[in-house]
Structure 1
Amino acid sequence: MIEFFLRRKVTTLVVFFLLVLFGYVGLTKLKMELLPDVSFPSLTIVTVYNNVAPTEIESLVTKPIEEILSSVGGVDRILSESIEGISIVTVRFRWGTEIDQALIQVREKLDLVKGSLPQDVKKSIVIRFDPNSAPIMQIAVKTNGIDLKDVRLFLRKNVIPYFERVDGVAAISLSGGFERQIQVNVDKGRLEAHNIRIQDLVNQIDSSNFGFPAGNVREGDKEILVRTDGLFPSVNSIENTVVGVTKAGVPIYLGTVGDVKDTFKERTSISGLMDEECISMILKKESGKNTVSVASDLRDLIGELNEKFGDKIRFQIISDQSILIEDSIASVAWAGILAVIICYCVLSFF
């Protein structure tokens, strides 16, 4: 076989270049990810029981969950940690276990044990580790003409819809800045004076703030969507919500028993870039999508948004997972090119 190729140099070179060509075409069709698509046989169950000491968390929450999960098929070992207000149970399965089926079994077991846990325990959250669930890109949003307090609302109304339309973007989250919140502060004495329960007040506010589709109306060859819009248009409209009536039949308004404030949530995170406070935008991609392709579309979009909204806000990419992937591929490609050159020289020499 070797002598056959050595005697036919032209044929050998043609075959060699065809293999290189097919390899290049195949490489361009491959999905490019930073980490391989590996399903780790591990599930983590997080259960919150607020304001409870670790020892009580251990006995009241962690132990019952451990005991019932030990009967799930394929379990290798169970690890747990009990800290103030939180129970963390990690179930590791044997390699080869169908993790999707194990996830269903774990959730069924948690539903069974729920009745034996304290009443105030929050519903357990099952977390499945995915190495490709890391953010594909993180963007810093800096103010350039509008107040930082208005940036979050501006992003949700004017910017995030653009990112949601990018093929492959699965989730967008924001951190830092100020998040608007409408607070309703009621006076307990006034409620009792008007014989209004706090839950009745909450229910009345909820029932007065709704909107839903009411069907379609045909007009010739057109079809019009009809929607009932009962959402509060302003803070004043919330204060004017009827929450009860007096014995004489006089309506009692929310503003009578309390006040409504248009303010911001308590800040739990602050983002900054180069000693300047900003808002961090974190983007995650859909499973199975090409990271490099999605990131390229996002970079193009960011350039367009900087031109469109540059007088108000500016976008700056902080981290981009596709850069690591492209660098890794470039290293592999360079090694492949060297191998091709060496092989060509050896074949030509002989």
Structure 2
Amino acid sequence: MIKIPGAIRSGFIKTEMINQLITLSLKNRYIVLLIALSLFAWGVYAVKENPIDAIPDLSDNQVIVFTEWEGRSPQIMEDQVTYPLVSNLQGIPKVRSIRATSMFGMSFVYIVFDDKADVYWARSRVLERLNYAQRLLPAGITPTLGPDGTGVGHILWYTLDAKGIDLGEQRALQDWYVKLGLQTVAGVSEVASFGGFEKQYQVTIDPHKLNYYNIPLSQVLKAVKSNNNDVGGRKFEMNGTGYIVRGLGYIKSLTDVENIPVGVINTVPVKIKDVATVQMGGDERLGIFDQNGEGEAVGGIVVMRYGENADKVIHAVKDKMNDIQKGLPAGVSFKIAYDRSELIENAVKSVKHTLIEEMITVSIIVILFLFSWRSALSIIIQIPITIATSFILLNAFGISSNIMSLTGIALAIGVIVDNGIVMVENSHRNLSIAQQKEVS
């Protein structure tokens, strides 16, 4: 009795299975063609649905909690804000780690979840805990969630080309018109403004005048707050007509601020202008935004949501910019500072060129060496079907079309072509040997 080693036995079994598979395919060639066409059609649909981006998103699945408390030192922020938040955010399901940073007037808490956790489920769990943690924070301090975007979500930077308009007006235009319009675009998580001056009424109090009139600083602050507000009354009817009573008190000019009363001396009201100087100025800045060394600029950063198609969102933002442009003042236009769609489109074009070059090269080689256009056609057909099928798998595993994945597909085209050439050449050799045996 001859014993056959297990490796050789398994090799025979695999060879027999391959032979049966080839025989079955040849006998049912129309079914095989139908399956191939179905895979190709499904793959084309998968290509359209697959999100396109320039780089793969390898950032953590995290939720950011931001808290602001102006004028407080990092140590106070750590003790009274950061520590209570971190302590109460512990124990949330699927949390991998929690990191925190305290700085002057600001606190950041980063809750990192498992990669499989849904980001919006995670944000809702964090909000539930924040409702309880709110009671442990100082009065008037409200933590907020960061945008539902990732570290690679900055897909478009733009500036306003507004010659002759001061930086304060540009920033107001950005914050109250442009930003609000772009945030309505589907797939946009946030539009972060940068540059310029945020307008504000500035009241510079003279302490000597406060002492002269014997008016405490808290009374001035209370007067300014209480005199910048509309108040509601009630509705009453007179002669069959209804009247709504309300008080108009919002500040509209510097004069309104200057005329706010803060005290009375001998029946003579003391106004803000008697104890302070009022002016329109910009909020304190920690830096400036300079573009190409040509001076300061005002603009915004468009942040994309999780899992969105970057190329699609960018084009939607550009279309929205064209609509917003119609309402901008004369001479004001958008200037794109960073556009990721250029890199995305170049990556897609590279794969297309590689695909076309491979198909042409394979056709020439097969026709020259085998003198068979049918063999060349069979190899060429394999390329688009295989690539389309690969996008089905990309969608199944949640992988976007980016430089990494598209480069892998471009490299795989060479393997597909090599396999096709080897199989076709082997088929021609076996057919030639069979013909020679028949002749002899």
Verify same fold: TM over 0.5: yes
2:273 matches 1:255:
yes
RMSD between superposed Cα atoms in Å: 4.8
2:334 matches 1:318:
no
- Give the % identical residues: 22
Q: Which runs of 5+ in 1 are unaligned?
A: 218-224
Structure 2 partner of 1:29: 49
The superposition leaves residues 224-258 of structure 1 with CA deviations (integer Å, 9 ceiling, x where unpaired) of: x998643212111111112222343x322211221
Structure 1 partner of 2:22: 2
| CA distance in 1: counterparts of 2:329 and 2:85, whole angstroms | 52
For residue 40 of structure 1, the aligned residue among 44, 61, 66 is 61
Q: 1:272 to 1:205 in 2, by over 3 A?
A: same
For residue 131 of structure 1, the aligned residue among 139, 150, 157 is 150
2:126 matches 1:103:
yes
The superposition leaves residues 127-185 of structure 1 with CA deviations (integer Å, 9 ceiling, x where unpaired) of: 69952673231102233343344322333455444424434434322212233221111
1:284 shift after superposition: 2.3
Q: Which runs of 5+ in 2 are unaligned?
A: 1-20, 237-243, 360-378, 384-416, 428-440
Q: 1:216 to 1:299 in 2, by over 3 A?
A: farther
Contact 1:68 1:113 in 2 (8 A): no
Contact 1:141 1:279 in 2 (8 A): yes
Q: 1:215 to 1:192 in 2, by over 3 A?
A: same
Structure 2 partner of 1:274: 292
Task: Identify, as 1 or 2, the structure richer in strand.
Answer: 1
| CA distance in 1: counterparts of 2:194 and 2:176, whole angstroms | 16
**For 1:230, what is the secondary structure of its paired residue?**
coil
**For 1:276, what is the secondary structure of its paired residue?**
coil
1:100 shift after superposition: 4.8
Query: Which residue identity does 1:40 align to in structure 2?
Result: N
The superposition leaves residues 167-216 of structure 1 with CA deviations (integer Å, 9 ceiling, x where unpaired) of: 44343222122332211112223323334322222222222212478899
Contact 1:39 1:130 in 2 (8 A): no
Structure 1 partner of 2:192: 173
**For 1:28, what is the secondary structure of its paired residue?**
helix
**For 1:140, what is the secondary structure of its paired residue?**
strand
Contact 2:174 2:193 in 1 (8 A): no
Query: Which residue identity does 1:138 align to in structure 2?
Result: W
| CA distance in 2: counterparts of 1:215 and 1:291, whole angstroms | 51
2:363 matches 1:343:
no
2:202 matches 1:163:
no
Q: 1:189 to 1:159 in 2, by over 3 A?
A: same
**Higher mean Cα deviation, 176-185 or 127-136?**
127-136
**Higher mean Cα deviation, 327-336 or 261-270?**
327-336
**Higher mean Cα deviation, 76-85 or 279-288?**
76-85
**For 1:18, what is the secondary structure of its paired residue?**
helix
| CA distance in 2: counterparts of 1:342 and 1:216, whole angstroms | 78
User: Quick check: which has more Rg, 1 or 2?
Assistant: 2
For residue 265 of structure 1, the aligned residue among 260, 283, 308 is 283
Q: 1:133 to 1:258 in 2, by over 3 A?
A: same
TM-score by length of 2: 0.58
| CA distance in 2: counterparts of 1:3 and 1:130, whole angstroms | 52
The superposition leaves residues 101-135 of structure 1 with CA deviations (integer Å, 9 ceiling, x where unpaired) of: 76358647855765xxxx79977777699526732
Contact 1:191 1:197 in 2 (8 A): yes
Contact 2:261 2:269 in 1 (8 A): yes
Query: Which residue identity does 2:169 align to in structure 1?
Result: D
Query: Which residue identity does 1:313 align to in structure 2?
Result: V
**For 1:136, what is the secondary structure of its paired residue?**
strand
Contact 2:134 2:142 in 1 (8 A): no
Structure 2 partner of 1:221: none
Q: 1:228 to 1:260 in 2, by over 3 A?
A: same
Q: 1:9 to 1:310 in 2, by over 3 A?
A: farther
| CA distance in 1: counterparts of 2:183 and 2:97, whole angstroms | 40
1:1-350 correspondence to structure 2 within 5 Å: 1-7=21-27, 12-32=32-52, 35=56, 40=61, 99-100=122-123, 103=126, 107=130, 114=137, 130-131=149-150, 134-211=153-230, 229-248=248-267, 250-277=268-295, 278-287=297-306, 289-303=308-322, 309=328, 311-329=330-348, 341=380, 343=382, 346=420
| CA distance in 2: counterparts of 1:49 and 1:141, whole angstroms | 29
